[in-house]
């Protein structure tokens, strides 16, 4: 029997479920990007608001690509389970906040109608870094991106997230409906400002006035989002169904820790997400900076080095003493480039990250985090490298992570087996590296020739190329685990 409104009453007593009348909830938020992260983060915090009695903040969620999540959740009336796992404890909550499900490519018009509904006051997004069709090194719209070119020629049926935002804003403007607030929940630097820049540019390419109207009328608050939510596995699905006594086709699994820091700029209202544990701040930048550089930077480092060393999950890598020591040194390298947010001690933050990474109840695959490195490295590792080099400081641990990425996107692991590289730049990176041949200096030079990743400055910085080349040579000569071990004792 399947989880649904009709079967909710069958859940065992210990399992949390909606404490409100779902039928009475009206849509207030349209969310683009129906992935596990949204369902374990913003939707859970919104559920707390609905549980506290608010009725006008239901979520209408859309997937911009595949119908899979809609197909799994529609027969469940949008209900799904969030499993919170910490070592040997697990608790379940069934979430009712999703009140509508769309698949954009099937029916872009229906999604645009939802975005134009005057009751929709917020459009939030988790479409991953590459979903913004921007140049990661500069944060500007990639005007040559095929989806952007498509969206400029087929405005009524967009494909990209910026295309949907701009078309919906255009329609609201024409109809005299006040704008919604755009709430980016992806791990981009200054995420609100970045999406604003991208949306305004796309609008200007259509019509200058629309660009100016968006610049003047639409709020794009910045956010820092944090919760570790690995892809759900079949094993999770089976275990959770047994605990529910009902089938849930697509539950999500995450750690207990969750943080959401939101810039409080919502001219047409917002839910009181503090009820779910969020905080509102005048300036999100220090939180975002710390999280992107320390958590995500270390995550990417562990992803490439861990994968190459044969660690399948983050927990395996972080529980390996050689890797734990490397992480400590990496954080010590990053921390001087991270101004501590009010009330935070960076050493304590690093210690809490290590504990979170070591959570063995989560099977967060290094391969999963390794995806889309070309879109992630700039904000996670390269900004810190730039700042340290400008201060004349060495970057051995960051350089090792970047070298591991180069090794990874080369597509062959240490045992000569192929690596499945998922990245929008996978093919050009692979051919550049193949053409460069085996010499580490040539391979590094070939990788640095991607300005969308490294900008114009890093390739010209001899110290940067030298550090990455030295690290890559070490990786190629002695393998990832020995290189990680060696990085802890340079020389
Ligand atoms: C991860 C993030 O997949 C990745 O790139 O680094 O999804 C990470 O788990 C979250 O940002 C944690 O908040």
Q: How confident is the model over 403-425, as pLDDT tens digits?
A: 999 999 999 999 999 999 999 99
Nearest CA to ligand 1 atom 13: 226
What is the spatial distance between Cα 182 and Cα 36, in angstroms, rounded to a whole number? 20
pLDDT at 317 over 50: yes
Instruction: List the strands of the sheet with 279-281, edge to edge.
Output: 223-226, 259-263, 279-281
CA distances from 182 to 119, 162, 217, 390 (A): 14, 11, 11, 35
Closest of 431, 316, 325, 429 to residue 377, by C-alpha = 429
Q: Which atom of ligand 1 is nearest to the CA of 380?
A: 6
Ramachandran angles phi, psi of 260, nearest 5°: -145, 115
pLDDT at 84 over 60: yes
Q: How many residues are recorded in the chain?
A: 491
What is the spatial distance between Cα 340 and Cα 216, in angstroms, rounded to a whole number? 32
Q: What integer pLDDT is reported at residue 489 of this predicted model? A: 61
Q: Is 407 close to ligand 1, i.e. is its CB under 6 Å away?
A: no
Q: Is 226 close to ligand 1, i.e. is its CB under 6 Å away?
A: yes
Domain 5-281 annotated CATH 3.10.129.10:
no
Q: Which atom of ligand 1 is nearest to the CA of 227?
A: 13
Closest of 436, 168, 480, 89 to residue 304, by C-alpha = 480
Q: Enumerate the β-bridge partners of residue 86.
A: 89
The mean pLDDT value for 270-297 works out to: 98
Spans of all domains in the chain: 5-281, 285-485
Q: Which atom of ligand 1 is nearest to the CA of 225?
A: 13
**Cβ distance 260 to 302 under 8 Å?**
no
pTM, rounded to two decimals? 0.97
What is the spatial distance between Cα 416 and Cα 222, in angstroms, rounded to a whole number? 43
pLDDT-derived band of residue 88, with 50, 70 and 90 as boundaries?
confident
User: How big, in percent rounded to 5, are the helix, strand and coil portions of the chain?
Assistant: 55, 15, 35
**Cβ distance 302 to 323 under 8 Å?**
yes
pLDDT at 219 over 90: yes
pLDDT-derived band of residue 491, with 50, 70 and 90 as boundaries?
very low
Q: Is 469 close to ligand 1, i.e. is its CB under 6 Å away?
A: no
Nearest CA to ligand 1 atom 8: 228
Q: Is 299 close to ligand 1, i.e. is its CB under 6 Å away?
A: yes
Q: What integer pLDDT is reported at residue 229 of this predicted model? A: 98
pLDDT at 197 over 70: yes
Nearest CA to ligand 1 atom 11: 226
Ramachandran angles phi, psi of 103, nearest 5°: -120, 105
pLDDT at 301 over 60: yes
- Alpha carbon 86 to chain centroid, angstroms: 21
Give the residue, out of 39, 184, 187, 368, with the most ligand 1 atoms within 8 A of its beta carbon, to mutate for a pocket test.
187
Q: How far, in Å, is the centroid of ligand 1 from the Cα of 295?
A: 8
Question: How much of the chain exceeds pLDDT 90, in percent?
Answer: 98
Q: How confident is the model over 466-480, as pLDDT tens digits?
A: 999 999 999 999 999
pLDDT-derived band of residue 177, with 50, 70 and 90 as boundaries?
very high
Q: How far, in Å, is the centroid of ligand 1 from the Cα of 69?
A: 20
Q: Which CATH number fits domain 285-485: 3.40.50.920, 1.10.3210.10, 1.10.1040.10, 1.10.3720.10?
A: 1.10.1040.10
pLDDT-derived band of residue 224, with 50, 70 and 90 as boundaries?
very high
Q: Which atom of ligand 1 is nearest to the CA of 37?
A: 7
Q: How confident is the model over 40-74, as pLDDT tens digits?
A: 999 999 999 999 999 999 999 999 999 999 999 99
**Cβ distance 366 to 308 under 8 Å?**
no
CA distances from 35 to 40, 60, 127, 183, 290 (A): 9, 13, 8, 16, 24
pLDDT-derived band of residue 488, with 50, 70 and 90 as boundaries?
low
pLDDT at 12 over 90: yes
pLDDT at 369 over 50: yes
- Alpha carbon 366 to chain centroid, angstroms: 15
- 266: how many CB neighbours lie within 10 A of its CB? 17
Q: How far, in Å, is the centroid of ligand 1 from the Cα of 369?
A: 7
pLDDT at 490 over 60: no
Q: What integer pLDDT is reported at residue 87 of this predicted model? A: 87
pLDDT at 331 over 80: yes
Average per-residue pLDDT for the chain? 97
Element holding 326 (H helix, E strand): helix 321-334
Q: Is 187 close to ligand 1, i.e. is its CB under 6 Å away?
A: yes
Give the residue, out of 131, 231, 295, with the most ligand 1 atoms within 8 A of its beta carbon, to mutate for a pocket test.
295
């Amino acid at each position: 029997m399947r989880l649904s409104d009709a079967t909710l009453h069958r859940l065992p007593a210990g399992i949390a479920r909606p404490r409100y009348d779902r039928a009475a909830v009206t849509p207030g938020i349209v969310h683009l990007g129906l992935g596990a992260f949204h369902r374990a983060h913003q939707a859970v915090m919104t559920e707390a608001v609905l549980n506290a009695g608010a009725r006008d903040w239901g979520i209408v969620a859309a997937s911009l690509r595949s119908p899979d999540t809609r197909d799994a959740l529609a027969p469940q009336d949008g209900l799904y389970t969030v499993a919170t796992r910490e070592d040997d404890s697990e608790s379940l909550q069934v979430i009712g906040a999703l009140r509508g499900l769309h698949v954009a490519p099937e029916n872009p018009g229906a999604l645009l109608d939802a975005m134009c509904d005057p009751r929709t006051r917020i459009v939030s997004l988790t479409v991953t870094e590459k979903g913004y069709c921007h140049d990661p090194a500069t944060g500007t719209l990639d005007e040559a991106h095929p989806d952007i070119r498509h969206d400029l020629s087929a405005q009524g049926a967009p494909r990209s997230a910026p295309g949907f935002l701009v078309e919906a804003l255009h329609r609201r403007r024409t109809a005299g409906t006040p704008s919604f607030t755009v709430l980016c929940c992806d791990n981009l630097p200054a995420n609100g400002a970045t999406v604003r820049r991208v949306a305004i540019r796309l609008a200007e390419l259509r019509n200058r006035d629309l660009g100016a109207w968006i610049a003047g009328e639409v709020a794009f608050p910045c956010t820092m989002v944090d919760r570790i939510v690995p892809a759900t596995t079949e094993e999770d699905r089976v275990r959770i169904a047994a605990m529910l006594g009902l089938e849930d086709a697509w539950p999500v699994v995450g750690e207990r820790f969750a943080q959401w820091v939101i810039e409080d700029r919502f001219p047409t209202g917002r839910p009181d997400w503090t009820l779910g544990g969020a905080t509102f701040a005048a300036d999100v930048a220090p939180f975002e900076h710390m999280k992107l550089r320390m958590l995500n930077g270390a995550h990417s480092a562990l992803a490439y080095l861990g994968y190459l060393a044969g660690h399948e999950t983050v927990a395996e890598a972080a529980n390996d003493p050689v890797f734990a020591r490397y992480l400590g040194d990496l954080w010590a390298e990053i921390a001087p480039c991270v101004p501590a947010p009010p009330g935070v001690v960076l050493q304590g933050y690093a210690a809490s990250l290590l504990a979170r990474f070591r959570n063995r109840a989560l099977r967060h695959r290094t391969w999963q985090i390794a995806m889309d490195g070309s879109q992630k490295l700039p904000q996670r590792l390269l900004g810190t490298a730039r700042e340290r080099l400008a201060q004349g400081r060495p970057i051995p641990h960051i350089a090792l992570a970047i070298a591991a990425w180069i090794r990874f996107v080369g597509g062959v692991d240490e045992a000569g087996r192929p690596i499945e590289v998922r990245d929008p730049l996978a093919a050009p990176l692979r051919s550049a590296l193949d053409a460069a041949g085996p010499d580490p200096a040539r391979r590094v030079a070939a990788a640095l020739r991607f300005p969308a990743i490294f900008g114009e400055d890093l390739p010209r910085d001899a110290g940067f190329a030298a550090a990455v080349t030295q690290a890559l040579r070490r990786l190629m000569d002695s393998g990832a685990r020995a290189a990680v071990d060696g990085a802890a004792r340079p020389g």
